[in-house]
Amino acid sequence: MSNNTCLYEEIQKSSLVVALISISVFIGMIITIAGNIMVMMSFKIERRLHRPSNYFLLSLACADVIIGVFSMPIYAVYIILECWPFSAFMCDFWSAVDFAVSEASVLNLIMISIDRVWSVSSPTSYRNNMTIKRAIVMIIPTWVCPILLYFTSIIGWPYFFPDSANDRPWNECYIPFMYESPLFMTISTICVFWIPLASMVIMYSYIYYIIRGLTRKKRTKQQINATARSNTAATTATVVTEQGAQLATIDNTSNADSAFHSSGNGKTTKYSALPLNGASTTTRYECDAQESRQAETDVDDDTSSSDKKLESKLPTSRRKKTEDEKKQSLLKKQTEHAKRQSKKKRSGGDRQSKSERKATRTLSFILGAFFLTWSPYCTVVIIMSWNNEAIPNSIFHLSYWLCYINSTINPICYALANELFRNTFKKLLTCKPCLT
């Protein structure tokens, strides 16, 4: 980095640029602090959020709040003034806290990924073994390891290498091993970002694979159930149709025999006997049926009791035919109902496809946000450790600030994806907890 001074007369930025940077960093800090404090307050006021998986979100919010309260304001001053206005020890302390908390945020993201893989791949084992105590045990290393690593390496570096303490300009602030040990910087960057990124990609890909498999199994089961219902309805329709045909044959035979025997007694009737071959002629029953239909037309507006009396006057064949028609009508309704249920199941499969697409978007957003906010800095810092003049300072500052933006969008990626968190956020924004 170039040797700058902290005299305001030598600041090269225009007032407009300074104003834009100031407004941007101020808005970023406010959103970061407010969003993560809301996560913490939601966890406090809503007891239903006190689940093991949400403790990882609470730990993540704590790390991101420290970044918003401590890291971002100091770095904003450094960017605006283009120089470090504080002491060398303050530079080392700020760098140690900043790197430790940022790495704690990354490790909490890893723990969230592990928790989700476990809950999706082995739900029963997860419910039986995942407790709040176990979640806390998993969270502790995400804080202890970064603190030990960065406080020891950054604050202890001048004590390990006394000659390097005088090499850093007084008005600049950067981690001492950034330019003095490119190999250490490269290895540490790979360990703290690129390996976690690769592990997150693998874990979320596995989560998507499991969700997709479960969706396909559920869809197949729904299709099998719908097919079984359709086959049952078709079988019932066939049986009822065959029974109706048998009843109709019995009725016709009975009518023919009655007419034949009446004619054989030599009595005068208003109808002709049915021939043995089953040819139809006008019968007394048909006349009675016509009279019954006429009566039904005349009393169309009568009560249901009158209809029952009229129906009881119908001949046996007509009543049986009416019963068959009712059965056919009921069967038709059942068949239509089965078709509607099958259609609903198919639409349910479509909804599962939509939920699968939603899961894809959510996982892609989480990984995309993490990659876009951290990869520029982790690429730039490796290049600069080997060649200090390869990257302009403005690009370096921008890439560094993008890492802070990850803390700004973490509540959106994780907390707002939880319906209970969203509802609690609404209560906080509308001050409902204050009124209760």
Domain ranges within the chain, ordered by starting residue: 14-225+347-435, 238-263+281-343
What is the structure's pLDDT at 37? Answer: 94
Q: Give the whole-angstrom CA distance, residue 95 versus residue 6.
A: 19
- Chain-centroid distance of CA 101 in Å reads 28
pLDDT recorded at residue 281: 40
Q: Count of CB atoms within 10 A of residue 389's CB?
A: 8
Kindly report the pTM of this predicted structure.
0.68
pLDDT of res. 377 = 92
pLDDT at residue 173, rounded to an integer: 86
| 26 within 8 A of 80, measured Cβ to Cβ | no
Amino acid at 93: F
C-beta separation of 148 from 68 below 8 A: no
Tell whether the torsion through CA atoms of 302, 304, 308 and 311 is positive or negative. Answer: positive
Location of structure tokens 């994806």: 417
User: Which pLDDT does position 341 carry in this prediction?
Assistant: 60
Dist CA 359 CA 125 (whole Å)? 23
CA separation for the pair 392, 1 (Å, rounded): 9
- pLDDT computed for residue 209 by the predictor: 86
Per-residue pLDDT of the chain (436 residues; tens, 9 = 90+): 444 455 444 445 567 777 888 888 899 899 999 999 999 999 999 889 999 989 999 999 999 999 999 999 999 998 888 888 888 889 989 999 999 999 999 999 999 999 989 988 888 999 999 999 999 999 999 999 999 999 998 888 877 777 665 567 777 888 877 777 788 889 988 988 899 999 999 998 898 888 888 777 776 776 677 677 666 655 655 555 555 555 555 555 444 444 444 444 444 444 443 343 443 444 444 444 454 455 444 444 444 444 444 445 445 555 555 666 666 676 666 666 666 665 555 554 444 456 556 666 777 788 888 899 999 999 999 998 888 888 888 898 899 999 999 999 988 888 777 888 888 888 888 877 655 5
CA dihedral 59, 62, 64, 70 (to 10 degrees): -150
- Third-level CATH fold of 14-225+347-435: Rhopdopsin 7-helix transmembrane proteins (1.20.1070)
First and final C-alpha spacing in the chain: 55
Q: What is the number of residues in the chain?
A: 436
